[in-house]
A = this chain, B = another copy of it.
Amino acid sequence: MSIASDLIRGHTDTIILAQLFKNDSYGYEINKTIQSITDSEYELKEATLYTAFRRLEQQGYIISYWGNETTGARRRYYCITASGKLAYEKLIEEWKIAKELIDKLIKKN
């Protein structure tokens, strides 16, 4: 974890929705995926991850169900809803705008 979380803050929900947009998954796996994608430059803290799940579920953007593992620890899978997909698309658009705004505001000249 080498990047300041403050800079990613505000994108936690989008990142999770993005992973669930590809396929249903569970907390531990999502975090491993994030580490894999970023070559371990970033990871979500567990407390942050599970807090986000609660938030997203409460907003109706994801729903959860228990996996039927016969061995190993139980897994709570999450599935993105139609509403969640819409929110995700909107968040991506907002990110594009924010990116340009920040570039304009912090550039050197």
Seen from chain A, the residues whose Cβ lies within 8 Å of a Cβ on chain B are: 3-4, 6-11, 14-15, 18, 21-22, 34, 37-38, 41-42, 91-92, 94-95, 97-99, 101-102, 104-109
Contacts and interface: CB of A to CB of B under 8 A. Distances in A.
Contact of A95 (B21, B38, B41, B106): B106
Contacts of A38: 101, 104-105
Copies of this protein in the assembly total 2
Q: For A95, A106, A107, A108, which residue has the most chain B Cβ atoms within 10 angstroms?
A: A106
A18 to B, nearest CB: 5
Query: From DSSP, what is the main secondary structure of chain A's interface residues?
Result: helix
Contact of A41 (B21, B92, B101, B106): B101
Given A15-B105, A21-B108, A106-B92, A7 B10 contact: yes
A19 B49 CA distance: 35
A57 to B, nearest CB: 19
